Amino acid sequence: MVNANADLLIMLVVAYFAALAYFENTYCKKAVISNDEYLASLAMVRQCSVYDLFRCSGADWRFSDSKTEMDFNAYLKTGHIPQYVVNYVRQNIRSEEVKSLRLVSRLW
């Protein structure tokens, strides 16, 4: 009788983790990726700061350093990401990379 209870408990634990993995995978496929997640993920992939990404995106548009500096300071204060930075980030990272980084960060 003790072995039957232990076997049942083990099967329930395995079923729980299988269901958890299934729902996690389903959720990640349907989840909307925010601009903040794109920005943070590209910074992690490139191993640089968000400030560096602002500078790179400003350089692509040939903006002055003072404009990108002002936009970055505004981002720090309000959390608003300028459209030129959003376009740069989305062009330079794949959504699969963002999803995999999201999964890794949830495990921590």
Determine the pLDDT at residue 96.
75
Return the number of other C-beta atoms located less than 10 Å from residue 86's C-beta. Answer: 14
Residue 104 has pLDDT above 70, yes or no: no
- Which 3 state secondary structure label does DSSP give 75? helix
Q: Where are the domains of the chain?
A: 1-30, 32-107
Q: Are 90 and 39 in contact (CB under 8 A)?
A: no
Which whole number is the average pLDDT over 91-103?
78
Residue 47 or 4, more confident: 47
pTM over cut 0.75: no
The string of pLDDT tens digits covering residues 18-57 is 888 887 777 655 667 788 888 888 888 888 999 999 999 9
The residue among 101, 84, 80 whose CA lies nearest residue 38 is 101
Measured CA to CA, the distance from residue 16 to residue 73 in angstroms comes to 46
